[in-house]
Amino acid sequence: MERTLSIIKPDGVTRGLIGEVIRRLEKNDIRIVGMKMLWMTREQARGFYAVHRERPFFDSLTNFMSSGPVVVMVLEGENVIEKNRTLMGATDPTKAAEGTIRRDFATEIEKNVVHGSDAPETAAFEIGYFFNRFEIVA
Ligand code: ATP
Ligand code: MG
C-alpha cells in the first residue's frame, strides 16, 4: 500500500472543483486517509515547493499557491502515486490526455487545479509537511 499527497490548488477551490476532484479519486478506488483545508503563507508555499526554488516560475507559483485556500489530502492505495498522476494529467493542460483533471479543468500551466507527489520520497516529505500521524486514519 502506498501513500501520496494531493492538493486541490487555489484555482480549483475558488472555481468550485473540490467535489469533482474528490469524486474522480473515489471513483478510481483511491482512499482518502487525511484531509484538511488551509491557506498557506508565502513562506509555507516556498517551503513546500523548495525543490523548484531555482526555476523561473518559482515566485509566481508560490504566490499563486498562497493566494487562497487549498485542500490537502493524503491518498492511499496500490500504486497511488502514479495512479493519481495519471488522473491529474500532464502539467500543461494543453498536453494533458483527454479525461484527465487538468485537461478538463485547468486554464494554464500554472493554474492547473491539482498537485500530486511524484515519487515515494517526495510523497513522504509532502505528507509530513502538512500532516502529523494523528491526522491520518489507519
Ligand atoms: P505538481 O508538482 O504541482 O503536481 P507537476 O509535477 O505536474 O505539478 P512540476 O514540474 O512539479 O509539475 O511543477 C510544479 C508546478 O509549477 C506545476 O504544477 C505548475 O503549477 C507550475 N509550473 C510548472 N512549470 C511551469 C511553467 N513553465 N510556467 C509556470 N508554472 C509552471
Ligand atoms: Mg511536481
Predicted TM-score of the model (pTM): 0.97
Q: Which of 115, 117, 123, 127 is catalytic?
A: 115
Specify the residue with its C-alpha closest to ligand 1, atom 2: 115
Which triple of cell numbers denotes residue 121? 520520497
Asked about 52 being catalytic, the answer comes back as no
Specify the residue with its C-alpha closest to ligand 1, atom 7: 91
Is the pLDDT assigned to residue 102 strictly greater than 90? yes
User: According to the model, what pLDDT value does residue 138 have?
Assistant: 79
Q: How does DSSP classify residue 91?
A: S
**What spatial distance separates the first Cα and last Cα of the chain, rounded to whole Å?**
12
Q: What is the pLDDT of residues 120-138, one digit of tens each?
A: 999 999 999 999 999 999 7
Q: How does DSSP classify residue 52?
A: G
Q: What is the pLDDT of residues 16-74, one digit of tens each?
A: 999 999 999 999 999 999 999 999 999 999 999 999 999 999 999 999 999 999 999 99
How many angstroms separate the alpha carbon of residue 99 from the centre of ligand 2? 20
